[in-house]
Structure 1
Amino acid sequence: MSTDLHHQAEQHRLTMLRQALTDQFATQTARLTELTADTGDPAEAHTRGALIAATRQSLDHLAAALRRLAEGGYGRCERCEAAIPAERLEVLPQARFCVPCQQKAHG
Structure 2
Amino acid sequence: MSTGTGIYDQQWLTELQVTLTDEFKAQTARLTQLTADTGDPAEAHTNAAMIAATRQSLDQISGALRRLSTGSYGSCEKCGTAIPRERLEILPHARFCVPCQQRQNR
TM over 0.5: yes
Q: CA deviation at 1:26?
A: 1.3
Q: What amino acid does structure 1 have at the position aligned with 2:66?
A: R
Q: Which residue of 2 aligns with 1:44?
A: 43
**Which consecutive residues of structure 1, in runs of 5 or more, have no partner in the other structure?**
1-6
Q: Which structure 1 residue ranges, 4+ long, deviate > 2 Å from structure 2?
A: none
- TM-score between both structures, scaled by the size of structure 1: 0.86
Aligned pairs for 1:1-107 (under 5 A) are: 10-107=9-106
| Identical positions, percent | 66
Q: Which moved more, 1:97-106 or 1:79-88?
A: 97-106
What is the CA deviation profile of residues 16-52 of structure 1, one whole-angstrom value per residue up to 9, with x for unaligned ones?
A: 1111211211121111011111111001111111111
Bigger CA radius of gyration? 1
- TM-score between both structures, scaled by the size of structure 2: 0.87
Which structure ranks higher in relative contact order (CA pairs < 8 Å, sequence separation ≥ 6)? 2
* Mapped partners of 1:16, 1:99: distance in 2: 24
Q: What is the SS of the residue equivalent to 1:14?
A: helix
